[in-house]
């Protein structure tokens, strides 16, 4: 079963997302949070060393999917993966999925035994999920400045 790593600039967000995804998936999926810069839960940023340690902690031969929030989280995740041996790095993937929705879907699909590629594809599909259904006239009305 693949492992999941949630990378956020906020330790509180990464930890909370890990807790939420674990509850939604019902356990059994290895997940790790990699957020913030220091032991201070309010220090914002990303740390390649924390991401590397998180990826190693959930490693399996099936691979590791990393879900990231934005910007430098991607760069830090890429840097972290550079420190893995080639065989492990080739089984790690940074997802383009939105962090929260993607993490929940990834956890559910990983729990069902999906491959790294299939779990990532399902997570990335959440890019297109609509949260609020609007009728065309509602959208037009919201965009007008009458």
Q: Which helix (H) or strand (E) holds 72?
A: helix 72-82
Residue 109 is among the residues annotated as catalytic for this protein: no
Q: Is the dihedral of CA 117, 131, 29, 14 positive or negative?
A: positive
Which of the residues 9, 11, 91, 109 is marked catalytic?
Answer: 9
Q: Identify whether the C-beta of residue 10 lies closer than 8 Å to the C-beta of residue 40.
A: no
End-to-end alpha-carbon separation of the chain, Å? 54
Catalytic residue IDs: 9
């Amino acid at each position: 079963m693949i492992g999941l790593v949630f990378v956020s600039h906020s330790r509180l967000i990464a930890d909370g997302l890990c807790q939420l995804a674990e509850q939604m998936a019902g356990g059994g999926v290895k997940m790790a949070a990699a957020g913030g810069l220091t032991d201070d839960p309010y220090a914002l940023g990303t740390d390649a060393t924390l991401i590397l340690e998180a990826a190693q902690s959930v490693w399996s031969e099936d691979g590791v999917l990393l879900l990231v929030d934005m910007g430098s989280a991607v760069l830090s995740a890429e840097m972290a993966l550079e420190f893995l041996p080639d065989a492990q790095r080739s089984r790690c993937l940074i997802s383009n999925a939105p962090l929260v929705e993607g993490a929940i879907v990834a956890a559910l699909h990983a729990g069902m035994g999906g491959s790294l590629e299939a779990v990532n594809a399902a997570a990335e599909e959440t890019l297109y999920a609509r949260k609020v259904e609007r009728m065309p006239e509602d959208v037009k009305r919201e965009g007008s400045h009458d």
